[in-house]
Structure 1
Amino acid sequence: MNAPFDSYVLLEGEKAEDALGKIAAELKTGTVIPYIGPGLTQLSPTEAPMTPETLAAFFGTKVALPKRAKGNCWASAQHIENMKHRSTVSALMSQAFTDSIAPTPLHVYLASLQLPMIVDSWYDATMRSALEGRGGWGEIQGITRAGIGEDRWYRFYEADGTETTKEKAEAWKTVLYKPHGSVAPAKNFLISDADYVEVLTEIDIQTPLPEAVKNRRSERSFLFVGCRFHDQLLRTYARQIMKRSTTTHHAIVDPAALTKNELKFLTIQGIIPIALPIDRACEILIR
Protein backbone atom coordinates (compact mmCIF):
# COMPACT_ATOMS: atom_id res chain seq x y z
CA MET A 1 0.00 0.00 0.00
CA ASN A 2 1.32 3.42 -0.91
CA ALA A 3 1.99 5.87 1.88
CA PRO A 4 -0.32 8.85 2.50
CA PHE A 5 1.03 12.35 3.06
CA ASP A 6 -1.62 13.45 5.55
CA SER A 7 0.71 15.09 8.05
CA TYR A 8 3.93 15.67 6.15
CA VAL A 9 5.23 18.35 3.83
CA LEU A 10 5.36 17.17 0.25
CA LEU A 11 6.69 19.71 -2.22
CA GLU A 12 4.93 19.51 -5.58
CA GLY A 13 4.61 21.56 -8.74
CA GLU A 14 6.06 25.07 -8.66
CA LYS A 15 6.97 24.76 -4.97
CA ALA A 16 9.01 21.67 -5.74
CA GLU A 17 10.83 23.33 -8.63
CA ASP A 18 11.51 26.50 -6.63
CA ALA A 19 12.87 24.52 -3.68
CA LEU A 20 15.10 22.44 -5.92
CA GLY A 21 16.37 25.60 -7.61
CA LYS A 22 17.52 26.90 -4.23
CA ILE A 23 19.14 23.55 -3.43
CA ALA A 24 20.95 23.71 -6.78
CA ALA A 25 22.48 27.03 -5.75
CA GLU A 26 23.58 25.55 -2.41
CA LEU A 27 25.02 22.53 -4.20
CA LYS A 28 27.42 24.81 -6.06
CA THR A 29 28.76 26.15 -2.77
CA GLY A 30 29.44 22.67 -1.37
CA THR A 31 26.92 22.96 1.47
CA VAL A 32 24.76 20.15 0.05
CA ILE A 33 26.07 16.60 -0.32
CA PRO A 34 24.54 14.59 -3.17
CA TYR A 35 23.58 11.06 -2.12
CA ILE A 36 22.90 9.26 -5.37
CA GLY A 37 21.43 5.86 -6.07
CA PRO A 38 20.68 3.52 -8.97
CA GLY A 39 17.53 5.41 -9.85
CA LEU A 40 19.79 8.11 -11.29
CA THR A 41 22.13 5.75 -13.13
CA GLN A 42 19.30 3.90 -14.83
CA LEU A 43 18.51 7.07 -16.80
CA SER A 44 21.38 5.81 -19.00
CA PRO A 45 20.90 2.67 -21.09
CA THR A 46 22.12 -0.32 -19.13
CA GLU A 47 21.38 -3.99 -18.57
CA ALA A 48 22.97 -3.93 -15.12
CA PRO A 49 20.56 -4.56 -12.23
CA MET A 50 19.53 -1.19 -10.82
CA THR A 51 17.42 -2.21 -7.85
CA PRO A 52 17.91 -4.74 -5.04
CA GLU A 53 15.03 -6.72 -6.54
CA THR A 54 16.53 -6.93 -10.05
CA LEU A 55 19.89 -7.87 -8.54
CA ALA A 56 18.15 -10.69 -6.67
CA ALA A 57 16.49 -11.73 -9.92
CA PHE A 58 19.90 -11.77 -11.62
CA PHE A 59 21.22 -14.11 -8.92
CA GLY A 60 18.17 -16.28 -9.51
CA THR A 61 19.09 -16.72 -13.18
CA LYS A 62 22.49 -18.10 -12.17
CA VAL A 63 21.73 -20.22 -9.12
CA ALA A 64 18.60 -21.99 -7.89
CA LEU A 65 17.43 -20.00 -4.87
CA PRO A 66 15.21 -21.11 -1.99
CA LYS A 67 11.91 -19.33 -1.60
CA ARG A 68 13.13 -17.36 1.44
CA ALA A 69 15.95 -15.80 -0.62
CA LYS A 70 14.02 -14.92 -3.76
CA GLY A 71 13.52 -11.19 -4.22
CA ASN A 72 16.12 -10.32 -1.58
CA CYS A 73 19.59 -9.71 -3.02
CA TRP A 74 21.35 -9.91 0.36
CA ALA A 75 19.75 -13.22 1.28
CA SER A 76 20.35 -14.50 -2.25
CA ALA A 77 24.05 -13.65 -2.02
CA GLN A 78 24.26 -15.35 1.36
CA HIS A 79 22.68 -18.53 0.01
CA ILE A 80 25.17 -18.60 -2.88
CA GLU A 81 28.05 -17.99 -0.48
CA ASN A 82 26.88 -20.84 1.76
CA MET A 83 26.18 -23.33 -1.01
CA LYS A 84 29.13 -22.53 -3.24
CA HIS A 85 31.85 -20.08 -2.22
CA ARG A 86 32.46 -16.38 -1.62
CA SER A 87 34.39 -16.29 -4.87
CA THR A 88 31.20 -17.27 -6.71
CA VAL A 89 29.35 -14.30 -5.20
CA SER A 90 32.15 -11.94 -6.21
CA ALA A 91 32.26 -13.38 -9.72
CA LEU A 92 28.51 -12.96 -10.16
CA MET A 93 28.62 -9.39 -8.85
CA SER A 94 31.43 -8.60 -11.29
CA GLN A 95 29.38 -10.12 -14.09
CA ALA A 96 26.28 -8.15 -13.12
CA PHE A 97 28.12 -4.83 -13.19
CA THR A 98 30.76 -5.53 -15.83
CA ASP A 99 29.34 -3.21 -18.50
CA SER A 100 30.41 0.41 -18.30
CA ILE A 101 27.49 2.82 -18.04
CA ALA A 102 27.62 6.25 -19.62
CA PRO A 103 27.37 8.93 -16.93
CA THR A 104 24.16 10.94 -17.01
CA PRO A 105 24.36 14.72 -17.37
CA LEU A 106 23.91 15.01 -13.59
CA HIS A 107 26.84 12.65 -12.93
CA VAL A 108 28.99 14.80 -15.21
CA TYR A 109 27.77 18.01 -13.59
CA LEU A 110 28.45 16.77 -10.06
CA ALA A 111 31.95 15.74 -11.14
CA SER A 112 32.58 19.28 -12.40
CA LEU A 113 31.73 20.97 -9.09
CA GLN A 114 34.65 19.65 -7.01
CA LEU A 115 32.27 18.90 -4.16
CA PRO A 116 33.59 17.93 -0.72
CA MET A 117 31.81 14.57 -0.94
CA ILE A 118 29.54 12.52 -3.16
CA VAL A 119 27.85 9.45 -1.68
CA ASP A 120 27.00 6.73 -4.21
CA SER A 121 24.93 3.89 -2.80
CA TRP A 122 25.07 1.30 -5.61
CA TYR A 123 27.68 -1.06 -7.04
CA ASP A 124 28.26 0.40 -10.52
CA ALA A 125 31.23 2.62 -11.39
CA THR A 126 29.32 5.36 -13.21
CA MET A 127 30.22 8.19 -10.84
CA ARG A 128 33.87 7.14 -10.90
CA SER A 129 33.72 7.26 -14.70
CA ALA A 130 32.32 10.81 -14.57
CA LEU A 131 35.20 11.90 -12.31
CA GLU A 132 37.93 10.36 -14.47
CA GLY A 133 40.30 12.90 -15.95
CA ARG A 134 39.70 15.39 -13.16
CA GLY A 135 42.20 16.04 -10.40
CA GLY A 136 41.92 16.21 -6.63
CA TRP A 137 39.58 13.32 -5.94
CA GLY A 138 39.67 9.80 -4.59
CA GLU A 139 37.33 7.03 -3.53
CA ILE A 140 36.53 5.34 -0.23
CA GLN A 141 34.77 1.99 -0.38
CA GLY A 142 33.17 -0.19 2.22
CA ILE A 143 34.64 -3.70 2.18
CA THR A 144 33.65 -7.10 3.48
CA ARG A 145 35.57 -8.19 6.57
CA ALA A 146 34.67 -11.84 5.99
CA GLY A 147 37.83 -13.86 5.56
CA ILE A 148 40.24 -10.97 4.96
CA GLY A 149 42.08 -11.32 8.27
CA GLU A 150 42.28 -7.55 8.69
CA ASP A 151 40.72 -5.12 11.13
CA ARG A 152 39.49 -2.83 8.39
CA TRP A 153 36.07 -1.53 7.37
CA TYR A 154 36.98 0.32 4.17
CA ARG A 155 39.72 0.98 1.64
CA PHE A 156 41.00 4.14 -0.04
CA TYR A 157 41.71 4.49 -3.76
CA GLU A 158 43.34 7.23 -5.79
CA ALA A 159 41.71 8.38 -9.02
CA ASP A 160 43.86 5.91 -10.98
CA GLY A 161 42.63 3.00 -8.85
CA THR A 162 45.79 2.63 -6.77
CA GLU A 163 45.08 1.80 -3.13
CA THR A 164 46.25 4.53 -0.78
CA THR A 165 46.05 5.67 2.85
CA LYS A 166 43.55 7.54 4.99
CA GLU A 167 46.07 10.35 5.44
CA LYS A 168 46.11 11.00 1.71
CA ALA A 169 42.32 10.71 1.58
CA GLU A 170 41.97 13.61 4.00
CA ALA A 171 43.69 15.87 1.47
CA TRP A 172 41.39 15.06 -1.45
CA LYS A 173 39.24 17.93 -2.70
CA THR A 174 36.42 15.49 -3.44
CA VAL A 175 35.67 12.17 -1.72
CA LEU A 176 33.56 9.66 -3.64
CA TYR A 177 32.13 7.46 -0.89
CA LYS A 178 30.78 4.05 -1.87
CA PRO A 179 29.51 2.57 1.42
CA HIS A 180 28.49 -0.77 -0.13
CA GLY A 181 31.57 -1.14 -2.34
CA SER A 182 31.85 -1.10 -6.13
CA VAL A 183 32.86 -3.15 -9.13
CA ALA A 184 35.75 -0.73 -9.75
CA PRO A 185 38.59 -0.44 -9.18
CA ALA A 186 39.01 -3.57 -7.02
CA LYS A 187 35.68 -5.42 -6.91
CA ASN A 188 34.85 -4.77 -3.27
CA PHE A 189 31.30 -5.82 -2.48
CA LEU A 190 29.22 -5.65 0.68
CA ILE A 191 26.39 -7.87 -0.50
CA SER A 192 25.73 -10.98 1.61
CA ASP A 193 24.00 -11.02 4.98
CA ALA A 194 27.30 -12.10 6.54
CA ASP A 195 29.01 -9.03 5.10
CA TYR A 196 26.66 -6.80 7.01
CA VAL A 197 26.59 -8.60 10.36
CA GLU A 198 29.59 -6.85 11.90
CA VAL A 199 28.87 -3.56 10.15
CA LEU A 200 25.33 -3.33 11.48
CA THR A 201 26.55 -4.34 14.93
CA GLU A 202 28.84 -1.33 15.13
CA ILE A 203 27.36 1.20 12.76
CA ASP A 204 25.40 2.91 15.55
CA ILE A 205 28.71 3.91 17.10
CA GLN A 206 29.99 4.95 13.66
CA THR A 207 33.07 2.69 13.64
CA PRO A 208 32.49 1.46 10.04
CA LEU A 209 32.37 5.04 8.71
CA PRO A 210 35.65 6.68 7.61
CA GLU A 211 36.77 9.83 9.41
CA ALA A 212 36.91 11.69 6.09
CA VAL A 213 33.19 11.03 5.67
CA LYS A 214 32.34 12.07 9.23
CA ASN A 215 34.31 15.30 8.85
CA ARG A 216 32.80 16.31 5.51
CA ARG A 217 29.16 15.77 6.46
CA SER A 218 29.41 18.22 9.36
CA GLU A 219 27.29 21.36 8.90
CA ARG A 220 26.06 20.09 5.53
CA SER A 221 22.72 18.73 4.31
CA PHE A 222 22.01 15.82 1.98
CA LEU A 223 20.11 15.64 -1.29
CA PHE A 224 18.96 12.13 -2.20
CA VAL A 225 18.63 11.48 -5.93
CA GLY A 226 17.61 8.09 -7.30
CA CYS A 227 17.47 6.44 -3.87
CA ARG A 228 14.85 4.21 -2.30
CA PHE A 229 14.48 3.40 1.41
CA HIS A 230 12.06 0.48 1.25
CA ASP A 231 14.54 -1.87 2.91
CA GLN A 232 15.76 -1.60 6.50
CA LEU A 233 19.41 -1.96 5.48
CA LEU A 234 19.20 0.99 3.08
CA ARG A 235 17.51 3.11 5.74
CA THR A 236 20.12 2.17 8.34
CA TYR A 237 23.02 3.19 6.14
CA ALA A 238 21.48 6.49 5.12
CA ARG A 239 20.61 7.34 8.73
CA GLN A 240 24.13 6.66 9.96
CA ILE A 241 25.82 8.52 7.11
CA MET A 242 23.58 11.55 7.79
CA LYS A 243 24.30 11.54 11.52
CA ARG A 244 25.73 14.80 12.91
CA SER A 245 25.00 16.70 9.72
CA THR A 246 22.33 19.42 9.55
CA THR A 247 18.73 18.64 10.50
CA THR A 248 16.97 19.28 7.18
CA HIS A 249 17.52 17.29 3.99
CA HIS A 250 15.69 16.68 0.71
CA ALA A 251 14.91 13.70 -1.52
CA ILE A 252 13.59 13.44 -5.06
CA VAL A 253 10.67 11.02 -4.81
CA ASP A 254 7.82 9.45 -6.68
CA PRO A 255 5.04 9.81 -4.08
CA ALA A 256 2.99 7.00 -5.63
CA ALA A 257 5.84 4.53 -5.09
CA LEU A 258 6.69 5.37 -1.47
CA THR A 259 5.91 2.77 1.16
CA LYS A 260 4.74 3.56 4.68
CA ASN A 261 8.18 2.65 6.01
CA GLU A 262 9.81 5.05 3.57
CA LEU A 263 7.49 7.85 4.56
CA LYS A 264 8.15 7.19 8.24
CA PHE A 265 11.89 7.26 7.57
CA LEU A 266 11.69 10.56 5.69
CA THR A 267 9.61 12.10 8.46
CA ILE A 268 11.85 10.99 11.33
CA GLN A 269 15.06 11.97 9.53
CA GLY A 270 13.86 15.42 8.50
CA ILE A 271 14.06 14.60 4.79
CA ILE A 272 11.63 16.76 2.81
CA PRO A 273 10.27 14.88 -0.23
CA ILE A 274 10.33 16.73 -3.54
CA ALA A 275 7.80 15.22 -5.92
CA LEU A 276 9.37 15.63 -9.35
CA PRO A 277 10.23 13.17 -12.11
CA ILE A 278 13.92 12.43 -11.74
CA ASP A 279 14.79 13.59 -15.24
CA ARG A 280 13.11 16.95 -14.58
CA ALA A 281 14.88 17.25 -11.22
CA CYS A 282 18.22 16.67 -12.96
CA GLU A 283 17.47 19.44 -15.44
CA ILE A 284 16.83 21.90 -12.62
CA LEU A 285 19.96 20.90 -10.72
CA ILE A 286 22.29 21.46 -13.66
CA ARG A 287 20.79 24.55 -15.28
Structure 2
Amino acid sequence: MATHVLENPEVLLDEVGEGLRAGQLVPFVGPGISALGAHAVPLSTGALADFFATKTTLPRRAKGNCWAAAQYIESTRFRDTVTAWMKEAFAQGVLPSAFHRWLAGLPLPLVVDAWYAGEMRTALLAAGREDWAEVQGITRAHIGEDRWFRFYTPGGDPAKAHDAEAATTLLYTPHGGIAPDANFLITDADYVEVLTEIDIQTPIPEEVRHRRTGLGFVFLGCRFDDQLLRTYARQIMKRSSARHYAVLDVETLTRNERRFLEEQNISPIAKPLGEALGQLMG
Protein backbone atom coordinates (compact mmCIF):
# COMPACT_ATOMS: atom_id res chain seq x y z
CA MET A 1 0.00 0.00 0.00
CA ALA A 2 2.85 2.38 0.77
CA THR A 3 4.04 2.31 -2.83
CA HIS A 4 0.54 3.32 -3.97
CA VAL A 5 0.41 6.27 -1.59
CA LEU A 6 3.78 7.52 -2.83
CA GLU A 7 2.56 7.88 -6.42
CA ASN A 8 2.39 11.51 -7.46
CA PRO A 9 -1.27 12.64 -7.36
CA GLU A 10 -0.68 15.19 -10.14
CA VAL A 11 0.65 12.50 -12.46
CA LEU A 12 -2.23 10.18 -11.57
CA LEU A 13 -4.81 12.93 -12.20
CA ASP A 14 -3.26 13.61 -15.61
CA GLU A 15 -3.59 9.89 -16.40
CA VAL A 16 -7.23 9.94 -15.26
CA GLY A 17 -8.07 13.04 -17.29
CA GLU A 18 -6.54 11.53 -20.42
CA GLY A 19 -8.30 8.22 -19.78
CA LEU A 20 -11.71 9.85 -19.35
CA ARG A 21 -11.38 12.00 -22.46
CA ALA A 22 -10.27 8.96 -24.48
CA GLY A 23 -13.12 6.80 -23.17
CA GLN A 24 -10.62 4.39 -21.61
CA LEU A 25 -11.81 4.89 -18.02
CA VAL A 26 -15.19 4.24 -16.44
CA PRO A 27 -16.17 6.93 -13.89
CA PHE A 28 -17.68 5.27 -10.82
CA VAL A 29 -19.37 8.23 -9.15
CA GLY A 30 -20.54 8.12 -5.56
CA PRO A 31 -22.54 10.51 -3.39
CA GLY A 32 -19.40 12.19 -2.06
CA ILE A 33 -19.31 14.43 -5.14
CA SER A 34 -22.70 15.98 -4.39
CA ALA A 35 -21.87 16.00 -0.67
CA LEU A 36 -19.28 18.72 -1.43
CA GLY A 37 -22.31 21.04 -1.63
CA ALA A 38 -25.33 21.53 0.64
CA HIS A 39 -28.32 19.35 -0.21
CA ALA A 40 -31.42 18.23 1.63
CA VAL A 41 -31.15 14.55 0.66
CA PRO A 42 -29.01 11.86 2.35
CA LEU A 43 -25.63 11.64 0.61
CA SER A 44 -24.00 8.76 2.48
CA THR A 45 -25.05 5.40 3.85
CA GLY A 46 -24.84 6.85 7.36
CA ALA A 47 -27.01 9.84 6.48
CA LEU A 48 -29.62 7.53 4.95
CA ALA A 49 -29.62 5.42 8.11
CA ASP A 50 -30.07 8.62 10.14
CA PHE A 51 -33.04 9.56 7.93
CA PHE A 52 -34.68 6.21 8.64
CA ALA A 53 -34.09 6.80 12.35
CA THR A 54 -36.20 9.99 12.12
CA LYS A 55 -39.13 7.90 10.83
CA THR A 56 -39.12 5.06 13.37
CA THR A 57 -37.23 3.76 16.38
CA LEU A 58 -34.52 1.44 15.10
CA PRO A 59 -32.99 -1.43 17.06
CA ARG A 60 -29.35 -0.94 18.03
CA ARG A 61 -28.03 -3.30 15.32
CA ALA A 62 -29.71 -1.18 12.62
CA LYS A 63 -28.53 2.24 13.80
CA GLY A 64 -26.02 3.73 11.38
CA ASN A 65 -26.53 0.91 8.85
CA CYS A 66 -28.98 1.85 6.11
CA TRP A 67 -29.32 -1.72 4.77
CA ALA A 68 -30.18 -3.15 8.20
CA ALA A 69 -32.47 -0.20 8.96
CA ALA A 70 -34.39 -0.74 5.73
CA GLN A 71 -34.64 -4.46 6.50
CA TYR A 72 -36.09 -3.73 9.94
CA ILE A 73 -38.64 -1.34 8.40
CA GLU A 74 -39.61 -3.93 5.78
CA SER A 75 -39.99 -6.60 8.47
CA THR A 76 -42.17 -4.45 10.72
CA ARG A 77 -44.01 -2.19 8.27
CA PHE A 78 -43.81 -3.97 4.89
CA ARG A 79 -42.01 -3.12 1.66
CA ASP A 80 -44.34 -0.32 0.61
CA THR A 81 -43.20 1.70 3.64
CA VAL A 82 -39.53 1.25 2.70
CA THR A 83 -40.26 2.49 -0.83
CA ALA A 84 -42.38 5.41 0.40
CA TRP A 85 -39.67 6.55 2.83
CA MET A 86 -36.95 6.21 0.17
CA LYS A 87 -39.07 8.38 -2.14
CA GLU A 88 -39.44 10.91 0.66
CA ALA A 89 -35.71 10.87 1.41
CA PHE A 90 -34.80 11.68 -2.20
CA ALA A 91 -37.88 13.70 -3.18
CA GLN A 92 -36.10 17.07 -3.25
CA GLY A 93 -33.62 15.91 -5.85
CA VAL A 94 -30.00 16.94 -6.27
CA LEU A 95 -28.85 19.28 -9.01
CA PRO A 96 -25.85 17.80 -10.80
CA SER A 97 -22.50 19.31 -9.94
CA ALA A 98 -20.22 20.92 -12.51
CA PHE A 99 -18.34 17.62 -12.59
CA HIS A 100 -21.47 15.56 -13.34
CA ARG A 101 -22.22 17.98 -16.17
CA TRP A 102 -18.66 17.74 -17.45
CA LEU A 103 -18.86 13.94 -17.52
CA ALA A 104 -22.19 14.16 -19.35
CA GLY A 105 -20.43 16.02 -22.16
CA LEU A 106 -17.99 13.16 -22.78
CA PRO A 107 -18.86 10.22 -25.08
CA LEU A 108 -18.01 7.70 -22.35
CA PRO A 109 -18.94 4.08 -23.09
CA LEU A 110 -19.97 3.43 -19.47
CA VAL A 111 -20.70 5.52 -16.37
CA VAL A 112 -21.57 3.97 -13.00
CA ASP A 113 -23.66 6.06 -10.57
CA ALA A 114 -23.50 4.34 -7.20
CA TRP A 115 -26.21 6.27 -5.32
CA TYR A 116 -29.95 6.84 -5.45
CA ALA A 117 -30.26 10.60 -6.08
CA GLY A 118 -30.05 10.54 -9.89
CA GLU A 119 -27.58 13.38 -10.52
CA MET A 120 -25.90 11.62 -13.43
CA ARG A 121 -29.21 10.96 -15.18
CA THR A 122 -30.18 14.61 -14.72
CA ALA A 123 -26.80 15.75 -16.08
CA LEU A 124 -27.14 13.62 -19.21
CA LEU A 125 -30.64 14.99 -19.78
CA ALA A 126 -29.42 18.57 -19.29
CA ALA A 127 -26.66 17.97 -21.85
CA GLY A 128 -29.38 17.50 -24.46
CA ARG A 129 -27.95 14.17 -25.55
CA GLU A 130 -30.21 11.45 -26.91
CA ASP A 131 -27.50 8.84 -27.54
CA TRP A 132 -27.54 7.27 -24.08
CA ALA A 133 -29.52 4.68 -22.17
CA GLU A 134 -29.75 3.63 -18.54
CA VAL A 135 -29.82 0.25 -16.85
CA GLN A 136 -30.85 0.12 -13.19
CA GLY A 137 -30.59 -2.57 -10.57
CA ILE A 138 -34.02 -3.47 -9.19
CA THR A 139 -35.26 -5.35 -6.17
CA ARG A 140 -37.03 -8.58 -6.97
CA ALA A 141 -39.23 -8.20 -3.91
CA HIS A 142 -42.89 -8.47 -4.92
CA ILE A 143 -42.36 -7.82 -8.66
CA GLY A 144 -43.15 -11.37 -9.69
CA GLU A 145 -40.40 -11.32 -12.31
CA ASP A 146 -37.10 -13.14 -12.60
CA ARG A 147 -35.17 -9.99 -13.46
CA TRP A 148 -32.23 -8.21 -11.84
CA PHE A 149 -32.37 -4.89 -13.74
CA ARG A 150 -34.42 -2.71 -16.06
CA PHE A 151 -33.44 -0.60 -19.07
CA TYR A 152 -34.68 2.96 -19.65
CA THR A 153 -34.61 5.53 -22.43
CA PRO A 154 -33.42 9.10 -21.67
CA GLY A 155 -37.09 10.04 -21.34
CA GLY A 156 -37.56 7.41 -18.64
CA ASP A 157 -39.60 4.96 -20.71
CA PRO A 158 -38.90 1.23 -20.45
CA ALA A 159 -36.33 0.11 -23.00
CA LYS A 160 -34.87 -3.15 -24.29
CA ALA A 161 -31.35 -4.51 -24.08
CA HIS A 162 -30.75 -3.64 -27.74
CA ASP A 163 -31.41 0.04 -26.95
CA ALA A 164 -28.50 -0.13 -24.50
CA GLU A 165 -26.32 -1.85 -27.08
CA ALA A 166 -26.94 0.99 -29.57
CA ALA A 167 -26.25 3.79 -27.06
CA THR A 168 -23.00 5.76 -27.12
CA THR A 169 -23.08 6.04 -23.31
CA LEU A 170 -24.62 3.51 -20.95
CA LEU A 171 -25.47 4.79 -17.47
CA TYR A 172 -25.45 1.96 -14.92
CA THR A 173 -27.11 2.56 -11.56
CA PRO A 174 -26.53 -0.76 -9.76
CA HIS A 175 -28.40 0.16 -6.55
CA GLY A 176 -31.40 1.64 -8.38
CA GLY A 177 -32.47 5.27 -8.16
CA ILE A 178 -35.25 7.74 -7.44
CA ALA A 179 -35.72 8.43 -11.18
CA PRO A 180 -37.42 7.44 -13.33
CA ASP A 181 -39.31 4.71 -11.44
CA ALA A 182 -38.13 4.71 -7.80
CA ASN A 183 -36.32 1.36 -8.03
CA PHE A 184 -34.34 0.72 -4.86
CA LEU A 185 -32.02 -2.05 -3.75
CA ILE A 186 -31.85 -1.11 -0.10
CA THR A 187 -32.74 -3.90 2.34
CA ASP A 188 -30.43 -6.65 3.53
CA ALA A 189 -32.79 -9.13 1.83
CA ASP A 190 -32.46 -7.29 -1.51
CA TYR A 191 -28.70 -7.66 -1.35
CA VAL A 192 -28.73 -11.26 -0.12
CA GLU A 193 -30.62 -12.15 -3.31
CA VAL A 194 -28.12 -10.34 -5.50
CA LEU A 195 -25.05 -11.58 -3.66
CA THR A 196 -26.07 -15.21 -4.03
CA GLU A 197 -25.49 -14.88 -7.77
CA ILE A 198 -23.10 -11.98 -8.16
CA ASP A 199 -20.04 -14.25 -8.35
CA ILE A 200 -21.45 -15.71 -11.57
CA GLN A 201 -22.31 -12.14 -12.66
CA THR A 202 -25.99 -12.70 -13.58
CA PRO A 203 -27.17 -9.58 -11.65
CA ILE A 204 -24.78 -7.43 -13.72
CA PRO A 205 -26.22 -6.57 -17.16
CA GLU A 206 -24.49 -8.28 -20.06
CA GLU A 207 -23.96 -4.94 -21.84
CA VAL A 208 -22.16 -3.59 -18.75
CA ARG A 209 -19.94 -6.68 -18.76
CA HIS A 210 -19.25 -6.18 -22.45
CA ARG A 211 -18.41 -2.48 -22.17
CA ARG A 212 -16.10 -2.72 -19.16
CA THR A 213 -13.76 -5.14 -20.98
CA GLY A 214 -10.31 -3.58 -21.21
CA LEU A 215 -11.33 -0.35 -19.45
CA GLY A 216 -10.06 0.98 -16.12
CA PHE A 217 -12.26 2.43 -13.37
CA VAL A 218 -11.87 5.69 -11.50
CA PHE A 219 -13.74 5.99 -8.19
CA LEU A 220 -14.86 9.50 -7.29
CA GLY A 221 -16.88 10.39 -4.19
CA CYS A 222 -16.89 6.75 -3.02
CA ARG A 223 -15.72 5.00 0.12
CA PHE A 224 -15.16 1.28 0.59
CA ASP A 225 -15.62 1.07 4.37
CA ASP A 226 -18.65 -1.19 3.96
CA GLN A 227 -18.28 -4.82 2.89
CA LEU A 228 -21.33 -4.66 0.63
CA LEU A 229 -19.94 -1.68 -1.28
CA ARG A 230 -16.57 -3.42 -1.68
CA THR A 231 -18.28 -6.57 -2.99
CA TYR A 232 -20.31 -4.58 -5.53
CA ALA A 233 -17.33 -2.61 -6.78
CA ARG A 234 -15.22 -5.77 -7.06
CA GLN A 235 -17.87 -7.54 -9.14
CA ILE A 236 -18.58 -4.55 -11.40
CA MET A 237 -14.83 -4.22 -12.10
CA LYS A 238 -14.36 -7.91 -12.87
CA ARG A 239 -12.60 -8.68 -16.18
CA SER A 240 -11.83 -5.02 -16.81
CA SER A 241 -8.36 -3.45 -17.09
CA ALA A 242 -5.65 -4.07 -14.49
CA ARG A 243 -5.20 -0.33 -13.69
CA HIS A 244 -7.69 1.66 -11.63
CA TYR A 245 -7.79 4.87 -9.58
CA ALA A 246 -9.65 6.36 -6.60
CA VAL A 247 -9.57 9.88 -5.21
CA LEU A 248 -9.47 9.31 -1.45
CA ASP A 249 -8.31 10.79 1.83
CA VAL A 250 -5.61 8.19 2.45
CA GLU A 251 -5.22 9.27 6.10
CA THR A 252 -8.73 8.07 6.98
CA LEU A 253 -8.71 4.73 5.14
CA THR A 254 -9.64 1.67 7.19
CA ARG A 255 -7.53 -1.47 7.09
CA ASN A 256 -10.22 -3.18 4.97
CA GLU A 257 -10.19 -0.29 2.50
CA ARG A 258 -6.41 -0.44 2.18
CA ARG A 259 -6.55 -4.18 1.59
CA PHE A 260 -9.30 -3.72 -1.02
CA LEU A 261 -7.33 -1.07 -2.93
CA GLU A 262 -4.27 -3.31 -2.92
CA GLU A 263 -6.16 -6.42 -4.05
CA GLN A 264 -7.89 -4.58 -6.90
CA ASN A 265 -4.83 -2.60 -8.01
CA ILE A 266 -6.58 0.72 -7.37
CA SER A 267 -4.11 3.59 -7.09
CA PRO A 268 -5.27 6.08 -4.45
CA ILE A 269 -5.01 9.72 -5.48
CA ALA A 270 -4.23 11.60 -2.29
CA LYS A 271 -5.88 14.94 -3.02
CA PRO A 272 -9.04 16.66 -1.70
CA LEU A 273 -11.97 15.59 -3.88
CA GLY A 274 -13.05 19.09 -4.85
CA GLU A 275 -9.54 20.01 -5.99
CA ALA A 276 -9.17 16.76 -7.92
CA LEU A 277 -12.48 17.26 -9.74
CA GLY A 278 -11.58 20.82 -10.61
CA GLN A 279 -8.23 19.69 -12.00
CA LEU A 280 -9.86 16.97 -14.11
CA MET A 281 -12.31 19.46 -15.63
CA GLY A 282 -9.53 22.00 -16.15
TM-score normalised per structure 2: 0.97
Residue in 2 that maps onto 1:84: 77
2:180 to 185, 203, 213: 185
Opposite residue 48 of structure 2, the aligned amino acid is L
Residue in 2 that maps onto 1:121: 114
Residue in 2 that maps onto 1:218: 213
Could you tell me how far apart the structure 2 residues matched to 1:69 and 1:19 are? 38
Opposite residue 253 of structure 2, the aligned amino acid is L
What stretches of structure 2 of length at least 5 have no aligned partner? Answer: none
Runs of 4+ in 1 over 4 A off after TM superposition: none
CA contact (8 A) 1:37 1:226 kept: yes
1:151 to 146, 161, 168: 146
Q: What is the CA-CA distance between 1:18 and the residue it aligns to?
A: 2.1
1:23 to 16, 19, 22: 16
Q: Is structure 2 residue 112 aligned with structure 1 residue 131?
A: no
Q: Is structure 2 residue 171 aligned with structure 1 residue 176?
A: yes
CA-based RMSD of the aligned residues comes to: 1.0
What stretches of structure 1 of length at least 5 have no aligned partner? Answer: none
Residue in 2 that maps onto 1:266: 261
TM-score normalised per structure 1: 0.96
1:172/1:275 CA distance change after superposition, 3 Å: same
Q: What is the CA-CA distance between 1:158 and the residue it aligns to?
A: 0.3
Opposite residue 276 of structure 2, the aligned amino acid is A
2:87 to 83, 86, 94: 94
Opposite residue 269 of structure 2, the aligned amino acid is I
CA contact (8 A) 1:11 1:275 kept: no
Could you tell me how far apart the structure 1 residues matched to 2:3 and 2:261 are? 9
Q: What is the CA-CA distance between 1:11 and the residue it aligns to?
A: 4.5
Residue in 2 that maps onto 1:9: 4
Residue in 1 that maps onto 2:49: 56
* Partner deviation per Cα, 1:20-44 (whole Å, 9 max, x = no partner): 0122012101001100100012123
SS at match of 1:208: coil
SS at match of 1:9: helix
SS at match of 2:202: coil
Q: Percent identity?
A: 53
